[in-house]
Amino acid sequence: MKLVFAGTPEVAVPALDALIASGRHEVAAVITRPDAPAGRGRRLVASPVAERAEEAGIEILKPARPRDPEFQARLREIGPDCCPVVAYGALIPKSALEIPRHGWVNLHFSLLPAWRGAAPVQHSIMGGDQVTGASTFLIEEGLDTGPVYGHLTEEIRPTDTSGDLLTRLAFAGSGLLAATMDGIEDGTLRAVEQPADGVSIAPKITVEDARIDWNAPAMRADRVVRGCTPAPGAWTVFRGERLKIISVGLVTDRTDLAPGELAPAKNNVHVGTGSHAVELLWVQPQGKKPMRGADWARGVRIAPGERLGGADVG
C-alpha cells in the first residue's frame, strides 16, 4: 500500500522505521506537528519523526491543523491507501479521515478499551496494572473508540517507569503496526468492535496529578513516582520549594514515621507514608541536578520531625 505516516515524538520513530524497512509498502510522506521551541534559546526544532523522515528522504507535512484545506488537498494528491498513526498529537477531522480508502490506523499503547486517551502508559502504572499492551485500531471521531485490528500484551515490571514501559511498547508495537498494514493490504485482517465493558480513560497527566500525597499508602507513592517519570515528574514540597522525586524504594519493615516525616541516616533517608516508609533514592531540588537522596539529606541538614509536603511557595 501507499502509506502516509502520522507521528511526532521519539516514541513514534520505531514504527516509522519498521514501515520503511518492511519493503512491502511505500511510505510516501509523513505528517507531524509543526516545529516547536526547545532549549534555553527557545529556537524552533523539528520533531523526531520529521528528522527521521528527512534522513530517509520522505516528504514531510507539518500542518498547523489537520483540517487546513491546503494540507488536505496535498493529502488527496498523494492518494494514500492508509494512514498509520503513532502519537501524532492532534485530532483528525472527519474530512481527513475519509481521504485514504483504508482510513487512519492508530497504534495505541494500551489494551483497548482500557485506558483510552493521551496518557495510557502513565495511567496503567499509576493504576497498579500488572499487564498492559498495545492495540491497532481504525480511528473514528470518538476518543480511541474505533474497531481493533490486533493487540499485544506486555508485563509491567515492579520497577518500570512510564519511560521504560513506553520504550518497550514502542518497539514491540512497531511490529504490530507493520503486521496490521500487511493484513489490511492482503485482506486477511478485519477490525473488531471494542467491547462495551472495561472502558477506562487516561487523560493527560497534570502537574497536580504528579504531586505525592504522603498520607496515601507507600505503594501509591511508588506508582505516582514511576508513572510520572520522566514526565511531568513526581514532586513534593520541602521548606516551601518543590522537590522532584525521581525514584523511591519500598521499606516495608518501617512503620514508625508519620506521613511525610523524614528520617535521615548515614547512607539513606526514609520518609513516612500512610502505610510503611519509602526510601528517597534519587531527588532533584529546584535549580539543581539530580542527586542521591542521602546526599541531598546531608546537604540540607534535616531537623528532627521535619516533613515533606505542605504549602508550595517556591
Tell me if 112 is assigned to a ligand binding site: yes
User: Nearest-CA neighbor of 150 among 138, 132, 167, 137?
Assistant: 137
CA gap 288, 4 in Å, rounded: 43
Tell me if 247 is assigned to a ligand binding site: no
Listing DSSP states for 3-50 in one string gives: EEEEE-SGGGHHHHHHHHHHSSSEEEEEE-PPPEEETTTTEEE--HHH
Tell me if 107 is assigned to a ligand binding site: no
Exposed, middle or buried by CB within 10 Å (0-12, 13-18, 19+), for 125? buried
Q: For residue 157, what are the contacts with CB-CB under 8 A and spacing of at least 6?
A: 164, 165
Listing DSSP states for 47-60 in one string gives: -HHHHHHHHHT-EE
* Angle of CA points 152, 155, 158, to nearest 5°: 160
In one-letter notation, the amino acid at residue 23 is G
> Strands 277-285 and 269-271, how do they pair?
antiparallel
Total residue length of the chain: 314
Query: Per the omega criterion (within 30 degrees of 0), is the bond before 113 cis?
Result: yes
Contact 139, 146 (CB under 8 A): yes
Tell me if 95 is assigned to a ligand binding site: no
Contact 175, 86 (CB under 8 A): no
**Binding site per annotation, positions for (6S)-5,6,7,8-tetrahydrofolate:** 110-113
**Binding site per annotation, positions:** 110-113
